[in-house]
Amino acid sequence: MASITNNDFDSFKIIDVDVVDVISEQANGDKQFVSMLFESFLNEGLETITTVETALKNNDFKTIGESIHALKGLAGTMGVMQVYEVCKEIDALLKISKVDEAISLLPILTSKYNISKEFISKNYIII
């Protein structure tokens, strides 16, 4: 199997604006609320990446799997598509015991999280 690279996820939107529009609509257009949700996503994402890095050092693959699965759900709910897609791939690999391949994607997850963080900060966070 060919190695998966960072570029393999570039075809996905950073943010699916249709998802954000639905969230905004459900919040009656409250931009402050949407901003708060994205701030929460960013905090949760950073916490997850830190947890995964620590779990990796301890060979705690159960925690890695649970953390990635949770971040996948959150990213999907918020429309953070590149993070979602990387998490989805890691999650799938872990489920079929391809741990080394899954672990090799963690730097890509960090990269896509950082790209998303910058985009979200510029476009959705209200200071």
End-to-end CA distance of the chain, in Å?
45
Q: And the tokens for 18?
A: 């249709």
DSSP calls for 21-77: HHHHHHTTT-HHHHHHHHHHHHHHHHHHHHHHHHHHHTT-HHHHHHHHHHHHHHHHH
Domains parsed from the chain with CATH numbers: 12-20+29-123 (1.20.120.160)
Please give the pLDDT value at position 1: 44
pLDDT digits (tens, 9 = 90+) for 88-101: 999 999 999 999 99
- The pLDDT, as a whole number, for residue 71 is 98
The SS3 of residue 108 is helix
Nearest CA among 113, 112, 124 for reference residue 39: 124
Cβ pair 22, 15 in contact under 8 A: no
pLDDT value for 7: 78
pLDDT of residue 74: 97
Per-residue pLDDT of the chain (127 residues; tens, 9 = 90+): 447 777 778 778 999 999 999 999 999 999 999 999 999 999 999 999 999 999 999 999 999 999 999 999 999 999 999 999 999 999 999 999 999 999 999 999 999 999 999 999 999 999 8
At 9 the pLDDT is 85
